[in-house]
């Protein structure tokens, strides 16, 4: 554990919490892509199967449980409790265009041809593109509430911080995971355009349009 | 080898 990784994890935690709080407080999930949320839940469900096979640390276990519960909680709020506020007409990104290539890639490029390992690889690749339905929705409606922007910023910052963590781990431990690093870079790059708008607009109090 | 695949990150 290093400072980049810790702040990255906390940023991820913060992103999930502000999304849940936004939906809960406003009693609405307008502007949020349910498809991205389903992809994130799938990411956690396929990556954290190791909860059943081996223990890493209490921190690791608790964070995994939190991410799993909160992502399924978000889906429940969007598709059940506040279903009427879900903006489904604008949430039209075709997720099969992500799922199929990601599934094929994970079968070809993995560390080991083993069920758990392939599912872990699938989750890493899927996470890198899971935000696309959300970004597509923002571009389609042409705007995002500032709370949605804060959510996206915290979520993007998390993987960016993980890149710093990998650089640090490479020099201190010789740790290098090519799959995670490439996917992490792709994931961070997808947020770059959004980061630019966030810094130039949202932080100056303007709406993201 | 086993250790390499101990994915300790989240």
A209: confidence class by pLDDT, cuts 50, 70, 90: confident
Q: Output the pLDDT for position A153.
A: 96
Contacts of A117 in chain B (CB under 8 A): 5
- Nearest 5°: the CA angle A57, A60, A62 is 105
- Tell me which residue of A72, A193, A44, A48 sits closest to A132, measured CA to CA: A193
Q: Output the pLDDT for position A117.
A: 96
B5: confidence class by pLDDT, cuts 50, 70, 90: confident
B3: confidence class by pLDDT, cuts 50, 70, 90: very low
List the single residue in B with minimal CA-CA distance to A181: B9
Q: Does A87 touch chain B (CB under 8 A)?
A: no
3-state helix, strand, coil in chain B (%, to 5): 30, 0, 70
Q: Does A4 touch chain B (CB under 8 A)?
A: no
**What ipTM did this prediction achieve?**
0.85
Q: Is pLDDT above 60 for A192?
A: yes
Contacts of B3 in chain A (CB under 8 A): none
The reply to whether residue B10 touches residue A12, judged by beta carbons under 8 angstroms, is: yes
Contacts of B7 in chain A (CB under 8 A): 47, 50, 120
Q: Is pLDDT above 60 for B2?
A: no
Query: φ and ψ at A144, to 5 degrees?
Result: -145, 145
Q: Output the pLDDT for position A158.
A: 97
d(CA A165, CA A7): 10
List the single residue in B with minimal CA-CA distance to A159: B10
Task: List, for residues A78-114, the tens digit of each pLDDT value.
Answer: 999 999 999 999 999 999 999 999 999 999 999 999 9
Residues 151-190 of chain A with CB under 8 A from chain B are 162, 165, 180
Q: Return mean pLDDT, chain A.
A: 96
Task: List, for residues A115-154, the tens digit of each pLDDT value.
Answer: 999 999 999 999 999 999 999 999 998 888 999 999 999 9
Q: How far is A184 from chain B (nearest CA, A)?
A: 12
Q: Output the pLDDT for position B4.
A: 57
């Amino acid at each position: 554990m290093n400072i980049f990784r810790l702040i990255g994890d906390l940023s991820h935690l913060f992103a999930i919490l502000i999304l849940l709080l936004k939906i809960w407080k406003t009693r609405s999930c307008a502007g949020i892509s349910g498809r991205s949320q389903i992809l994130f839940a799938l990411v956690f469900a396929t990556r954290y199967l190791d909860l059943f096979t081996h223990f890493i640390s209490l921190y690791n276990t608790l964070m995994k449980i939190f991410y799993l519960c909160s992502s399924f909680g978000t889906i429940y709020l969007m598709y059940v409790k506040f279903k009427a506020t879900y903006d489904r007409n604008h949430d039209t990104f075709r997720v099969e265009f992500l799922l199929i290539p990601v599934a094929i890639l994970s079968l070809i490029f993995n560390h080991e041809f083993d069920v758990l390992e392939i599912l872990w690889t699938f989750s890493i690749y899927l996470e890198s593109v899971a935000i696309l339905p959300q970004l597509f929705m923002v571009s389609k409606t042409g705007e995002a509430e500032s709370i949605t922007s804060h959510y996206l910023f915290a979520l993007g910052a998390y993987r960016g911080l993980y890149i710093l963590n990998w650089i640090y781990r490479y020099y201190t431990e010789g740790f290098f995971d090519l799959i995670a690093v490439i996917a992490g870079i792709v994931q961070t790059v997808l947020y770059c355009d959004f980061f630019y708008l966030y810094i130039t607009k949202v932080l100056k109090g303007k709406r993201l349009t | 080898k086993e250790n390499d695949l101990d994915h300790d990150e989240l």
